[in-house]
Chains A and B, each alone.
Chain A
Amino acid sequence: MSETKKPAGYYLRERFMPHLWCAGCGHGTVLNGLVRSVDELGLKKREIVMVSGIGCSARMAGYLDFHTLHTLHGRALAFATGVKLSRPELKIICPLGDGDALAIGGNHFIHAARRNIDITVLILNNRIYGMTGGQYSPLSGCGIDATTAPYSSIDEAFDAVRLATASGATFVARTTTFHVHQMQQILTQAIQHKGFSVVEVLSQCPTHFGRKNGGLEAVDMLKGYQQNTAPVGSKKLENSPDLIPVGVFVDEERAEYCDRYQGVIDRAQGGAAARTAPVGQGGAAAQGGAP
């Protein structure tokens, strides 16, 4: 932990400002929480690689003075996997939106979780596609109005926490932009965690989600996060199971992918005797057998 706290501006690229987030957007709150966690952990800027996809959430990468890779919609985790496996000593943080994480990027998400590769994922869940103008997302849920759901959405939403857990993520948490202290605490834990860590942050989009769904303003939505959530394992949640649980759901140790790959290297360099499985001869498939 660093002794002296640095101002948030130390981590920002002012050349990139002003940012493009709307007034009242929750994403700036998440950026603030992230910067404070990085500062608290005493990480050097050059140790961190931010890999993002496409969307409002993805712009977070460019605003921060780390190594930043702004990629394709949904593919951030695939790029991140290449960075991490190639340079395991780097810290990888991926801010993803609804579509990045769980629509077009859903397959990459579950496979990265399955491998338990040491990447920290922030799912900035605003239940809407903001940058493209307010279409519904796989996190919108039923009964939501959107520009592509003029008669309200009939699609069920993913539960990102349960999906991440089932896919093998070894740290899974949920928080909101209202719970700023909890958010920072959880982000710190997630970045420290060795393995695939997922933090779902409920983040308000007053411009598109709020306006289409009852004219909610940012403050209304933040109040909603306060009123409609309860800590996981709490009495409050037990009494009102319809509330959205927040807190840490999974925090376990399991062999991390890059560490396991080091084992592969050790076996490969140890010669044939050290190999655990028989290895086919080069071009073995040329001797017959198509898939």
Chain B
Amino acid sequence: MIWKIVIGGVGGQGIITAGIILAETAVIQEGRFAVQSQTYGAAMRGGLTRTDVIISDEEIIYPKVDQAHMLACLHRKALSAYHKMIRPGGLLVTDRDEAPALKRLDCRQYEFPFSAALREQSASIRNVNLCILGAVAHLTGVVQMAHLEDAIRVRYSGNEDALAAVKLGQELVVDSGFRAVHLGEDGRTGRHATSARE
């Protein structure tokens, strides 16, 4: 299967880092293939920032995301800029307060209160990128939750806050009662799956 994912937000939210962690999880923890690229430039200065990640069980030829199976968004500016990248019937995961869902989008929309929940726990809002990764992993299974946690452990060398943020994202999905979904496309036939996972 091939997953094409876009993560969007503004500079300083750790968007690029989230993309790198997702790719590292697939490649290093799961032995699969991934490519990650980003808008490269003045991305650290509060402007729009975006990372594209493709994850596959086979080698990835074309490395750019044209139509995304999923857009994960942490800022309303990014949502309005990138929502057109979602493939019809694709998946949109957003922060309830920072990037409220848009009406009339042909996709499944999932809102979670990532930043609000972090604030509630007096946890660092800087980890909102890890929080949304936890949600995405649990919701879609694009990478396995345990592998994501391993990748976080390696990168943050035992930082408990980082790990807690990932788990918080997972819990928000569990609490919401949303069923896990299965997306992606068959690498050989190009056929898209949009069925519920269970």
Binding site for A on B (CB under 8 A): 11, 16-17, 20, 38, 40-44, 49
Contacts and interface: CB of A to CB of B under 8 A. Distances in A.
Interface stretch (A196-204, A239-247, A261-269, A281-289): A281-289
Contacts of B42: 288-290
B9 to A, nearest CB: 12
Instruction: Describe A's contact surface by its main secondary structure.
Output: loop
Contact of B17 (A287, A289, A290): A287
Interface of A: 286-290
A290 to B, nearest CB: 5
A290 B39 CA distance: 11
Nearest to A283: B20
Contacts of B40: 286, 288, 290
B41 A287 contact: no
A286 B11 CA distance: 14
Nearest to B42: A290
Nearest to A288: B43
Given A288-B38, A288-B44, A290-B40, 15 more contacts: A286-B38, A286-B40, A287-B16, A287-B17, A287-B20, A287-B38, A288-B11, A288-B16, A288-B41, A288-B42, A288-B49, A289-B42, A289-B44, A290-B41, A290-B42
B91 to A, nearest CB: 25
A160 B44 CA distance: 44
A290 B41 CA distance: 5
Contacts of A289: 42-44
Contacts of B49: 288
A67 to B, nearest CB: 44
Contacts of B41: 288, 290
A145 B67 CA distance: 72
A287 B11 CA distance: 11
The list of the 3 closest CB pairs from A to B, nearest first, reads A288-B43, A288-B44, A287-B16
